[in-house]
Amino acid sequence: MPETEEEPKDTVSPPEEPGERSFVRLRRPRDGESPLAAQPELHERVSGRKPGSKFLRLTRRGEQKLRRVAEGEYEVTRVGSEPASGMGRVVAKVRHAVIGETLASSQLSHQRLSKLKALAIFSSDALSSSAYATEEILLVLVLAGTAATAKAIPISLAIAALAVIVVVSYRQTIKAYPNGGGAYIVANENLGVTPALVAGSALLVDYIMTVAVSTAAGVAAILSAAPSLHDARVELALLFVVLITLGNLRGIRESGTIFAIPTYIFIFGFGGMLAVGFVKLIVNGHIDAAPVEHQVEGGAQALTLFLLLRAFSSGSAALTGIEAVANGVPSFKPPEWKNAATTQMWMAIILILFFVGTTVLAHQIGVLPSESKTVVAQIAESVLGRNVLFYIVQASTVMILILAANTAFAGLPTLASVMAKDSVMPKQFAFRGDRLAFSNGIILLGLASSAVLVVFGAQTHKIIPLYAFGVFTAFTLSQAGMVIHWRRHREEGWRRALAINAVGAIATAIVAVIVAATKFTHGAWLSIAIMLVLVAVLWRIKSHYDQASRELGRGLAGAGGVAEHFYVASAGRPQTVIVPVEEIDRAVLRTIAYARTLSSNAVAIHVTDDREEAEKLRQKWDESIPDMPLVIVESPYRSLVEPIVAYIEGLDRTQPNQMVTVVLPEFIPKHFWQRFLHNQLALRLKKALANRQNTVLVDVPYHLTH
Amino acid sequence: MPETEEEPKDTVSPPEEPGERSFVRLRRPRDGESPLAAQPELHERVSGRKPGSKFLRLTRRGEQKLRRVAEGEYEVTRVGSEPASGMGRVVAKVRHAVIGETLASSQLSHQRLSKLKALAIFSSDALSSSAYATEEILLVLVLAGTAATAKAIPISLAIAALAVIVVVSYRQTIKAYPNGGGAYIVANENLGVTPALVAGSALLVDYIMTVAVSTAAGVAAILSAAPSLHDARVELALLFVVLITLGNLRGIRESGTIFAIPTYIFIFGFGGMLAVGFVKLIVNGHIDAAPVEHQVEGGAQALTLFLLLRAFSSGSAALTGIEAVANGVPSFKPPEWKNAATTQMWMAIILILFFVGTTVLAHQIGVLPSESKTVVAQIAESVLGRNVLFYIVQASTVMILILAANTAFAGLPTLASVMAKDSVMPKQFAFRGDRLAFSNGIILLGLASSAVLVVFGAQTHKIIPLYAFGVFTAFTLSQAGMVIHWRRHREEGWRRALAINAVGAIATAIVAVIVAATKFTHGAWLSIAIMLVLVAVLWRIKSHYDQASRELGRGLAGAGGVAEHFYVASAGRPQTVIVPVEEIDRAVLRTIAYARTLSSNAVAIHVTDDREEAEKLRQKWDESIPDMPLVIVESPYRSLVEPIVAYIEGLDRTQPNQMVTVVLPEFIPKHFWQRFLHNQLALRLKKALANRQNTVLVDVPYHLTH
């Protein structure tokens, strides 16, 4: 690439003609004179072809990278925060194009939500389950014949009762944790690390499954209205996940209004459909079922208790998302906990009405699950006919399901950041990305849920069995944590509160066991296995961070309240510096010059299997650099790296516990492939020295122009 | 891993209990006292958990790694030449188990060969082509019907005439290049770089094809005797290549005797078979052809000149390897060139007898090519019957073919090492491996020929069209180079010599054109394309090395005859050292202590997006390390690496052309996966600083125990 910019003549000497005898004949410094002062050109000559060109390019554009704030205090500008190098710049540009310009940390908003907006934001996950919960119950019951589907109504009522218990129980959490009380936080504070890790794992799996199930159900709703897309089920689901992931990387904040519209369309649309259905039922006495293909045929299994419990397990997915309000208490307008509790109550009422209403109506119309059309779509078509209203209900169902998936994209990354701050997830999850979102958590969730969708072919009923166990495990640990909380704190009315949470904990624990037992072979085993592995992984991560922090002596000052007083020695003894030398060339001379600025105790070492060549080098060396010792190591087995290591080990013997610094030139060719033309001694030395405590390897870069 | 060795109490203090308040409260040094002298423990404390343990382990085993030879001169022992680290040690052990113990450079043998042994070593490549050359001619002629195969005899005579021309021409090369005159060397000396690169590429391709063709033909000979192995053709061929590769990595040297036996078995076996055949022919007037399956049927093409030339091209593969002697002149006993020339003559005579003899006998018996049995095998069976003699001929044919492949394994690596020394191949090809063989060249040849065998299904007749063009290109360039040589040197009799080489060059050039034209669509296009690509690649490699060498000012002293006089400045101005600091912990303190031994001008830099946290750090800093400045850079866009780069760029402005050294701790966890739990600032900084001339990055390793 030709350099188009002109270098001003006064700062930069023209590059030397390569191949000429261009070494500078430098004079020796006078007594007492600094050698560098005697040779002002040296640094420039040995430091490469175009000193300062970077600096010139910088000012020419006139962009400031650092702003001085005070003595020793600076602020980086946006330009200064972007990578300066070629490839990094390209990557950054692509990223900006896709997810938008980088935002400053100060732009993080802390908006407070009214109850009406909060209901819209927090309820999408819970309400959206009305779109598939009834169908999941029917899919199990129909195994015992079409008549058995009548049992869906008592099952849905049992689930509604469970919902009441859970909501009442969570009301206590909202009150006790005004800063947000997810299952992980409550378990961590009250039950200890292991239950917290279990709760955290359960929640991580949950969020992933929420995205997978909601997307799959959303796609099913689309396919009900547009059967021609039937073959693109997985592709459609992945498309949605990618769009939601990108949207969240752009930083869709909980801006309320945008989320409120589709949620209320859904509430009124779905609610309206149910209302019309019941009115028609009462007026006409019956509703004719719309025609449907691929209807599931009734099976011949016995209607055992196990089958009923299995249907109950499937339906219990309706409760997912019911805890969302508890995480978000700080977003409410004051009095926060009261507004949150009220919102949660309304959410629960709507959820129960929708879920039970759908189940009753499905039974009255006589709808059965089908491959090609969801139960809700069949009800909508039967009640409303295949007209514009039908499409509105379907469209709003799709939207609420996508919003539910989106909720998980707010939830998992936030949870991961909390866990990362607690050192149970990799630190990287605690950093906010360009758009102030927790990018790594978002990407993780996008990838994991895509994987689930691909593995299970984006079929809701295949993913559901993996879903509920995690949800109820988290519920149980959260409520159990509250029980301990009340025992410890004994605030006013703690006995009553404890009783409520205990009921909640027991009820959800029973459901968790039922789900695990009845769904085990259908996929629950997999989610249990994943959770166990996750717990083990998180445990190891935590143990590593804890150990590292202890070894590094972190947090001592903070814990003791008094800063420890350190004194760090400054240069006293000179460093031992070793410079491996292959031949005497500009790169080596530059490296030697650098090594000598580090220490007066610098030694060159030459490894060879050719004595004659070594003798020649020594002769040349003695003429050129007489005041620096050269050690020659003959290597009859032609090893290059190991003799240097052996020499350093020898130094250990004469000066134990001393640091040894190895300084060597590293050729940086212009093109990547050219790296393979050099012997990469630096890389090999780094590997060979990796196990040594007290050895520091310093590469002095030498940039080649070709 | 538990440390089983006991640390002596007097050298090593017991490791500190982690998590305790174990920072040392060090006293400030008295006036004039070196800070390190005041704190003898400091280095030990800050340098890690088990100082000196490596050293102890070393002496305990009592193995010496370095032997002192003289002042500043050492020699590495075999133990010192082995990697010391875990993984490297395992790799080395596996390597030793497979290819044997490392040999010292002094064990390189320089054996001289008698003519009898030399004939055995150098002729395998050439003679082995009698095993397939006739068949390749017949395969083309039969396209014009079985009657056309009679033309094989004049074609083989033409090829014999060509062989005479080539041998006579090469006799001149042997005389002029007593140190070995391969096509690359001759072209390089006389014709310039580009022809040399073409010759080099042609030879590289040739060697690869020699291995592929010889192995494929050897396998065909085996299949002729053992048809049940028919489906394992490719696998058998690869097995042979792997065995030959390993054998050569072990360092099969040109030991003569081992190679002489199978060659002479072949010469007498094959020659005997031909003799018996001709005797039987003369006595009985005819020989009945042995029965054979899958015989190729005669085609209906016209017997055009083009087809005859194509057959000629196929047969010209018989000449490959005829130049081998010219490369090996220095291995002969003196007078080297005379002995070499005589050996070459004998080789040519045997080759012509075998090749023409086979062709005539095949015609007389009426043998036609077949899928399942080679032409030679058919002749052997017809002449000798299917008895033990038949198997001896087949076995010796296999052996000579494998020897021919083995010859290429001596040839290509040596050529590559010569080219590497000339900077037209990567330097790595110039190094001898553990067993003194040029390992990288051997591995390259093994891989490349395996690839050819797989791509062409180990079918001789599919690989042959790629073969001859390179051979004749090399011949032509070599002879043309000799023409220039004689013009330049004008030794006694140069006119005659020039004429002979000119005839050789013209003849081989014509053949090269014929081969390219008649085989183009059958595969020659591919070998031409590969050669062109190779030439381009070699050209770029050479250009890179030349440029790098010029930039580095290498070879100046040698070229001038007088050593240049260098003076390299030693420490005058202190280095500018920057220490990025995230928090104050043991790793950072150790890094700071190290940085201060490098320079009195060390500055810490802390990048943050949280002002409050930064203020706390500054407070702690001022209490702990008051005598070192801390720069705080606020990074509102949460970038970590770029602000450090911006700060360094700022330094460029105030002190252009100064080196800047960035010193930072690098955590080295015990397990690889744990790396991902740390933010790898060192790696990211290295990338971001990669384009800067004057910045050196120093990682101070901090080994974590968990």
pLDDT tens digits, A164-194: 999 999 999 998 988 877 899 999 999 999 9
Does the distance separating the beta carbons of A553 and B598 come in below 8 Å? no
Q: Give per-residue pLDDT as tens, B133-189.
A: 999 999 999 999 988 999 999 999 999 999 999 999 999 999 899 888 789 999 999
Q: Report the mean per-residue pLDDT for chain A.
A: 82
* pLDDT at A256 (0 to 100): 58
Nearest C-alpha of chain A: how many angstroms from B353?
A: 46
Cβ-contact B377, B386 below 8 angstroms:
no
CA A473 to the chain's CA centroid: 23
Q: Among A47, A74, A702, select the one facing B633 at the smallest CB separation.
A: A74
pLDDT of residue B555 exceeding 80, the answer is: no
Q: Give per-residue pLDDT as tens, A636-662.
A: 888 888 889 888 888 877 776 678 899
* pLDDT at B255 (0 to 100): 54
User: Which residues of B fall within a CB distance of 8 Å from A647?
Assistant: 66, 74
Nearest C-alpha of chain A: how many angstroms from B538?
A: 11
Does the distance separating the beta carbons of A434 and B647 come in below 8 Å? no
Cβ-contact A123, A354 below 8 angstroms:
no
Cα–Cα dist B184/B207, whole Å: 13
Does residue B548 or residue A3 have the better pLDDT?
Answer: B548
Radius of gyration, alpha carbons of chain A: 35
Q: Among B76, B548, B565, select the one facing A642 at the smallest CB separation.
A: B76
pLDDT of residue A504 exceeding 90, the answer is: yes
Interface predicted TM-score (ipTM): 0.77
Interface test with B, best of A28, A567, A652 (most B CBs within 10 A): A567
User: Which residues of A fall within a CB distance of 8 Å from B80?
Assistant: 639, 642-643, 646
* pLDDT at A548 (0 to 100): 86
Q: Report the mean per-residue pLDDT for chain B.
A: 82
* pLDDT at B49 (0 to 100): 29
Q: Give per-residue pLDDT as tens, B425-483.
A: 998 898 888 878 889 999 999 999 999 999 999 999 899 888 889 999 999 999 999 99
Cα–Cα dist A654/A668, whole Å: 35
Does the distance separating the beta carbons of A569 and B39 come in below 8 Å? yes
Q: Give per-residue pLDDT as tens, A448-457.
A: 999 999 999 9
For A12, nearest residue in chain B (alpha carbons): B657
Most confidently predicted of A305-309, B51-55, B97-101, B332-336: A305-309
Q: Among A52, A572, A636, select the one facing B106 at the smallest CB separation.
A: A636
User: Which residues of B fall within a CB distance of 8 Å from A567?
Assistant: 26-28, 35, 39, 624-625
* pLDDT at B253 (0 to 100): 58
Does residue B25 or residue A689 have the better pLDDT?
Answer: A689
Does the distance separating the beta carbons of B81 and A596 come in below 8 Å? no
Nearest C-alpha of chain A: how many angstroms from B556?
A: 7
Instruction: Supply the pTM of this predicted model.
Output: 0.73
* pLDDT at A261 (0 to 100): 86
Share of chain B above pLDDT 70, in %: 86
Cα–Cα dist A13/A51, whole Å: 9
pLDDT of residue B31 exceeding 60, the answer is: no
Distances in Å between the Cα of A590 and the Cα atoms of A663, B573, B661 are 11, 15, 14
Nearest C-alpha of chain B: how many angstroms from A244?
A: 24
pLDDT band at B604 (very low <50, low <70, confident <90, very high): very high
pLDDT of residue B290 exceeding 90, the answer is: no
Count of Cβ atoms closer than 10 Å to residue A117 Cβ: 22
Question: DSSP labels for B65-86?
Answer: -EEEEETTEEEE-TGGGS--SH
Share of chain A above pLDDT 70, in %: 86
Lowest mean pLDDT among A104-108, A239-243, B697-701: A104-108
Does the distance separating the beta carbons of A584 and B657 come in below 8 Å? no
Q: Mean of the pLDDT values across residues B243-252?
A: 84
User: Which residues of B fall within a CB distance of 8 Å from A47?
Assistant: 657, 659, 693-694
Cβ-contact A623, B563 below 8 angstroms:
yes
User: Which residues of A fall within a CB distance of 8 Å from B593?
Assistant: 568-569
**Beta carbons within 8 Å of B626's beta carbon, 6+ residues apart:** none
HEC-encoded secondary structure of A93-117: HHHHHHHCCCCCHHHCCCCCECHHH
The residue behind tokens 């689901």 is: A237
* pLDDT at B13 (0 to 100): 33
Count of Cβ atoms closer than 10 Å to residue A161 Cβ: 12
pLDDT of residue A531 exceeding 90, the answer is: yes
Nearest C-alpha of chain A: how many angstroms from B162?
A: 41
User: Which residues of B fall within a CB distance of 8 Å from A434?
Assistant: 637
Does the distance separating the beta carbons of B23 and A566 come in below 8 Å? yes
pLDDT band at B514 (very low <50, low <70, confident <90, very high): very high
Q: Give per-residue pLDDT as tens, A26-61.
A: 344 445 443 333 333 433 333 333 333 333 333 335
Q: Among A47, A625, A641, select the one facing B568 at the smallest CB separation.
A: A625
Q: Give per-residue pLDDT as tens, A540-569.
A: 999 999 988 888 877 554 332 223 333 344
Does the distance separating the beta carbons of A55 and B427 come in below 8 Å? no
Does residue B24 or residue A675 have the better pLDDT?
Answer: A675
Does residue B241 or residue A7 have the better pLDDT?
Answer: B241
* pLDDT at B556 (0 to 100): 52
Alpha helices in B226-335 (DSSP H): 233-250, 257-284, 305-315, 324-327
* pLDDT at B103 (0 to 100): 83
* pLDDT at A63 (0 to 100): 67
CA-nearest of A465, A516, A149, A509 to A308 is A149
* pLDDT at A379 (0 to 100): 93
Does the distance separating the beta carbons of B677 and A544 come in below 8 Å? yes
Structure tokens at A523: 């996929």
Lowest mean pLDDT among B43-52, B154-163, B408-417: B43-52
Q: Give per-residue pLDDT as tens, A590-626.
A: 888 888 888 888 899 999 888 888 999 998 888 878 8
Lowest mean pLDDT among A561-575, A599-613, B190-204, B604-618: A561-575
Q: Mean of the pLDDT values across residues B684-702?
A: 85
User: Which residues of A fall within a CB distance of 8 Å from B538?
Assistant: none
User: Which residues of A fall within a CB distance of 8 Å from B648?
Assistant: none
Nearest C-alpha of chain B: how many angstroms from A640?
A: 8
Distances in Å between the Cα of A706 and the Cα atoms of A2, A46, B176, B607 are 12, 18, 38, 36
pLDDT band at B688 (very low <50, low <70, confident <90, very high): confident
Share of chain B above pLDDT 90, in %: 43
Q: Give per-residue pLDDT as tens, A55-113.
A: 333 333 556 777 787 777 888 888 788 877 677 788 888 888 887 888 888 777 666 78
Cα–Cα dist A324/A528, whole Å: 23
Structure tokens at B440: 């990288």
